[in-house]
Structure 1
Amino acid sequence: MPPLLWLTAPDQVDPPLRAALVACWRDVVNGGGAVGFARQVPVDDDVVAPVVDRLVSELDPRLRRLLVAPTDGGVAGWLVLTGNADPVAAHWARVTHVQTSPAARGSGVGGALMGEVARAARDDLGLDALRLEVRGGMGLESFYGHHGWTVTGCWPGALQIGVDDRRDEVLMGLDLRAR
């Protein structure tokens, strides 16, 4: 696997990388991944691309970073690290959009992304903690738990996936001071 790549400005995402991010997200959603668009499945590039464009337009060295696991001609996985401008909450950040392309599942890409986001948050940004939310009923807690994350709470029934499908939003945290 090539080295992971941190991107912190919109101009760092060229058209081929943008297309690879869109394709990865589309494939993850259509493969049953819990990374958004739950009520729009299946999705195509026309649905995903504007969301990728908005995410990329908000990249910022201090407050929003994109971590990518590139492959030859594509993306094996990616995530977003979002900090807090408010000094009261500036010691922690949120991890969102964590995804591994279906073709890269089981290859260690997800673990590499989680290790690098923790390292960078602690060592490069001086953060004390990370937070993330996962869709209940998907078994994601065990993946994150394997990488040191703990369940810190839950919003029961917070996510309405379908008319008769409500899921909990599970809140998880990673204490970077203990690492």
Structure 2
Amino acid sequence: MPLTFTLDPSMDPALRDGILDLWADVTDAGGAVGFVAPASREAIRAELLKHLTAMADGRARLLVGHDEDGRVAAAAFLTFNTHRLMTHWLWLYTVMVHPRHQGKGYGRDLLAAAAGAARGFDGIEAIRLTCRGGLGLERFYGSCGYKEVGRVPGAIRVAPDDDRDDVIMLLPLT
């Protein structure tokens, strides 16, 4: 059963908690979404609050995928560039699919929905994201049309003596 995607859903406590649960579950399953397992829910909540503030300020948009039971199963944040010379592309942040739904093609569906949403924004010509090297994520994003356009070796420290590359990916929309 495919996910139902909604851009800019009405934020209420249930949705907020659903995103928090998703983020914690993805992190705990080893997902590269800004934390290393196990991450405290309070640390994730603080980061989520930053995203919600950006949404309230009009700097970010939220894309959520719900499963057939109505649970939050996937999410991503589309964040507009504030630099006046870079407003023609946006960032895709915190791309997540719940572990119970991985392997079903929902990650591809989420990226396609994000690209579709971005195409609807005036003046947006590309999506840029970064991912943590060493997990094969650049291959996944590459299979979805993204091109690796840069790499910063060892920029992400996940543990002592465990540094990963920060891989920069770009999806042209035109």
Question: Normalized against structure 1, the TM-score is what?
Answer: 0.89
CA RMSD of aligned residues (A): 1.7
Q: Determine the C-alpha separation between the residues in 2 that align with 1:130 and 1:31.
A: 26
Q: Any unmatched runs of 5+ in structure 2?
A: none
Question: Normalized against structure 2, the TM-score is what?
Answer: 0.91
Give 1:47's aligned residue: 43
1:25-47 per-position Cα deviation (integer Å, ceiling 9, x unaligned): 00100100000122xx2124233
Give 1:25's aligned residue: 23
Q: Any unmatched runs of 5+ in structure 1?
A: none
Identity %: 37
Following TM superposition, the consecutive aligned residue runs of length 4 or more in structure 1 with deviations greater than 6 angstroms are: none
Kindly provide the amino acid, as one letter, of the partner of residue 8 in structure 2. L
> Is the contact between residue 3 and residue 106 of structure 2 (CA under 8 Å) also seen in structure 1?
no
- Residue 170 of structure 1 and its aligned partner are, at CA, apart by 0.7
Cα 1:43/1:130, change in 2 over 3 Å: same
The one of 113, 121, 136 aligned to 1:139: 136
Q: Work out whether 1:161 is the aligned partner of 2:162.
A: no
> Is the contact between residue 77 and residue 93 of structure 2 (CA under 8 Å) also seen in structure 1?
yes
1:105-136 per-position Cα deviation (integer Å, ceiling 9, x unaligned): 02222111111111221233331111110100
Q: How many residues align?
A: 172
Q: Determine the C-alpha separation between the residues in 2 that align with 1:129 and 1:143.
A: 18
Q: Work out whether 1:65 is the aligned partner of 2:61.
A: yes
The one of 147, 152, 165 aligned to 2:149: 152
Report the secondary structure of 1:143's partner residue.
helix
Q: Is 123-132 or 100-109 further displaced after alignment?
A: 123-132
Report the secondary structure of 2:163's partner residue.
strand
The one of 104, 116, 134 aligned to 2:101: 104
1:134-162 per-position Cα deviation (integer Å, ceiling 9, x unaligned): 10001001111111001001001111111
